[in-house]
Amino acid sequence: MLGQIIMLVLGRGKQVWLWAAVPLLCLALPVMPAQTGLGVALGKTYPIAERDFLDVIRERLQAKQDSGELAAMQKAMVATAKQTAENPVPVPGITRATKAGTHYYDPSVTAPNDIRDADGDVVVKAGTSVNPLEYVGLSKVLLFIDATDQQQVAYAGRYYQDSKKPVKVVLVGGSYMALMRQWKRPVYFDQGGYLTGRLQITQVPALAYQDKLSDTELRIDTVVLPDAGGKP
């Protein structure tokens, strides 16, 4: 068809010349094999040489397990966790009491914004103060001590036995787990100094309690113990 069109436009002589040039043009073009559905391949392909990353991790873990290194790491982690649980970080800034004293703590909370229910109705207006002691009294005495001081431990043991109210012993230092094993009853730790910070306790032993059920403040007493020589 192409030959007939060229013949009509250019004449027979040039038609013969063009047909003769077609094989030369084909030889001059690069060979580009087609792949069905993938277009044209532009070059030779090679398999991926990199190893699968997960396979590398599995091999390394297996090697550590075979050598015993993995078991040693796990044992060290368990020991560290146990050590942390047995001996929590002491609450900073707490010292042994050198002067007896009493102060009070008001646990009232003031709402900074309106508090709404599920329907959007305001149930507590911004600026409203609520004192939880007006609704729920503190029936227990909180006794704060440093368990690294054996005098404080002994004082807490005596106070626990003699108190007319239930007592919760809260440590600011030392091992609460060791003391629980010794006393065979619950002992607590003021993790991060949350309670002592709120109650403004800086010296121990210290007692925090509600003197009367009608009181809206907690009373905090700082107790001075005699030193090793028996002096107050």
Question: Are residues 101 and 195 both part of a single domain?
Answer: yes
**Residue 141 belongs to some domain of the structure:** yes
Question: Are residues 216 and 158 both part of a single domain?
Answer: yes
Q: Is pLDDT of 134 > 50?
A: yes
Answer with the one of 16, 51, 86 that is the final residue of a domain. 86
**Residue 121 belongs to some domain of the structure:** no
User: Where in the sequence is the domain holding 75, given as residue range(s)?
Assistant: 61-86
Question: Are residues 151 and 218 both part of a single domain?
Answer: yes
Which of 48-52, 63-67, 196-200, 214-218 reaches the highest mean pLDDT? 196-200
Q: Which residue has the higher pLDDT, 23 or 198?
A: 198
Q: What pLDDT does residue 42 have?
A: 62
**Residue 10 belongs to some domain of the structure:** no
Q: What's the domain count of the chain?
A: 2
Peptide bond into 205 cis (omega under 30): yes
pTM above 0.85, yes or no: no
Question: Are residues 171 and 202 both part of a single domain?
Answer: yes
Question: Are residues 141 and 66 both part of a single domain?
Answer: no
**Residue 198 belongs to some domain of the structure:** yes
Question: Are residues 145 and 162 both part of a single domain?
Answer: yes
* 110-122 pLDDT, tens digit each: 989 989 999 989 8
Q: Cα(first)–Cα(last) distance of the chain, in Å?
A: 123
Q: Which residue has the higher pLDDT, 37 or 193?
A: 193
**Residue 199 belongs to some domain of the structure:** yes
Mention every residue, 6+ apart, whose C-beta is less than 8 A from residue 95.
202, 203, 204
- Average confidence score pLDDT of the chain: 81
Q: What pLDDT does residue 156 have?
A: 96
Question: Are residues 102 and 196 both part of a single domain?
Answer: yes
Question: Are residues 101 and 201 both part of a single domain?
Answer: yes
**Residue 43 belongs to some domain of the structure:** no
* Alpha-carbon gap, residue 133 to 152, rounded angstroms: 29
Percent over 90 (pLDDT), the chain: 45
**Residue 168 belongs to some domain of the structure:** yes
Catalogue the E-assigned strands of the chain. 34-35, 39-40, 95-96, 101-105, 109-110, 115-116, 122-124, 129-130, 141-146, 167-173, 188-189, 203-204, 206-209, 218-222
Question: Are residues 187 and 103 both part of a single domain?
Answer: yes
Q: What pLDDT does residue 232 have?
A: 47
Question: Are residues 151 and 178 both part of a single domain?
Answer: yes
**Residue 23 belongs to some domain of the structure:** no
Question: Are residues 80 and 186 both part of a single domain?
Answer: no
Question: Are residues 211 and 146 both part of a single domain?
Answer: yes
